[in-house]
Structure 1
């Protein structure tokens, strides 16, 4: 069984470290390795895993933009549950419930794809 919270934590670190790379590529092919990497303060997933999880996040964004933003704020930007509750005007319990619902959607998308993530070996 996959630990979706750990997967999303590592995906969030990957997005935070490579955000501009997800949007567009400003580096010519073959030269990316010559640019020094950014500081990595959190464990990240691989690029392949990051792209797979991002595709599931894109599906969530189309179906439930609110849940997408919730996952993005929590896993990418590191906004705490309490702050999310205050910003959204809901209780801490409601934040947790909505976060779990969004996590379940991503876990379901990954299960339906039937993909094996590299990160599954480590968690």
Structure 2
């Protein structure tokens, strides 16, 4: 079973890297002023893995743009679920559920594609000998 949160964390680090070639607005819609002022070193995924994940995120954005924006805010920009809830004037529990549903969509999309990500061994706690 794939740890989708760790997969998305690594995708977020990849997308945040200026050399990724993917252009995300530096101010997430509705989250101006919430971005952390400093950046920290984050473990990234490979370009191949990231492009597969990008495809799944594009499907999510087409079907449910709101949930896509939650994943981008949380995993790309590192905005906490609490701050997202405050900015959206929603209960934090509801934001957590919505993010969980979006994570499930991405996980399901990856499962349907039947792809093996290069990071799977690392995010699942398995290491090649």
Q: Report runs of 4+ in structure 1 exceeding 4 Å deviation.
A: none
Q: What is the match of residue 114 of structure 2?
A: 114
Residue aligned with 2:21, SS: helix
Q: 1:19: Cα distance to partner?
A: 6.3
**Which residue is 1:65 aligned to?**
65
Report what 1:28 is aligned to.
none
Secondary structure of the residue aligned to 2:101 is helix
Distance (Å, rounded) in 1 between the aligned partners of 2:40 and 2:50: 15
Structure number with higher helix proportion:
1
Q: Report the counterpart of residue 56 of structure 2 in structure 1.
A: 56
- SS of 2:116 mapped into structure 1: coil
Q: Check 1:43–1:8 CA distance in 2 against 1; reply closer, same or farther (3 A cut).
A: same
Aligned residue for 1:30? none
After TM superposition, the score normalised by the length of structure 2 is 0.80
Alpha-carbon separation, structure 2, partners of 1:114 and 1:20: 24
In the TM superposition, residue 121 of structure 1 has moved relative to its aligned partner by 1.2
Whether 1:22 aligns to 2:18 is no
Rg comparison, structure with higher value = 1
May I ask how many residue pairs the two structures share in their alignment? Answer: 108
d(CA) in 2 for partners of 1:71, 1:56: 12
Give the conservation status (yes or no) of the 8 Å contact 1:4–1:103: yes
Calculate the aligned-residue CA RMSD, in Å.
Answer: 1.5
